[in-house]
C-alpha cells in the first residue's frame, strides 16, 4: 500500500474517531443532533481534503524513501579563525 493511501486511511480513522466522540458525548447529552445539517454543501471541500491528504502522504513517502529526509545539509563555515 502506498504512503498516500496510508495517509488517507489515517485521515478516515481520525474522522471515525471524531464521529464516535460526537455520538458518544455530544449527541447523548444534548439535543444537538444535526438533523437539518446539509452535508452536500461541503462535498467539494471533503474531496479537496482527501486529495490533499493523498498528495501530501505520497510526497512525504517519496521524500523519505528517496533519502532526502536523512541527507545532511552543506556544513556552515565558521567566520571565526581557528586557533593553532
The answer to whether 15 and 66 have CB atoms below 8 angstroms apart is no
pLDDT digits (tens, 9 = 90+) for 14-27: 999 999 998 898 88
Round to whole Å and give the CA distance between 4 and 64: 13
* Rg value, the chain, Cα: 23
Domain spans of the chain? 1-30
10 Å Cβ neighbour count for 43? 10
Residues 6+ apart with CB under 8 A from 76: none
pLDDT digits (tens, 9 = 90+) for 33-73: 777 888 899 999 999 999 999 999 999 999 888 888 788 77
Round to whole Å and give the CA distance between 47 and 5: 14
Amino acid at each position: 500500500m502506498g504512503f498516500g493511501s496510508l495517509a488517507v486511511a489515517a485521515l478516515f480513522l481520525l474522522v471515525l474517531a471524531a464521529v464516535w466522540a460526537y455520538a458518544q458525548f455530544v449527541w447523548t447529552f444534548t439535543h444537538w443532533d444535526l438533523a437539518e445539517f446539509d452535508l452536500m454543501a461541503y462535498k467539494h471541500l471533503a474531496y479537496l481534503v482527501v486529495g490533499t491528504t493523498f498528495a501530501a502522504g505520497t510526497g512525504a513517502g517519496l521524500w523519505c524513501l528517496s533519502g532526502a529526509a536523512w541527507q545532511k545539509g552543506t556544513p556552515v563555515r565558521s567566520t571565526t579563525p581557528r586557533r593553532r
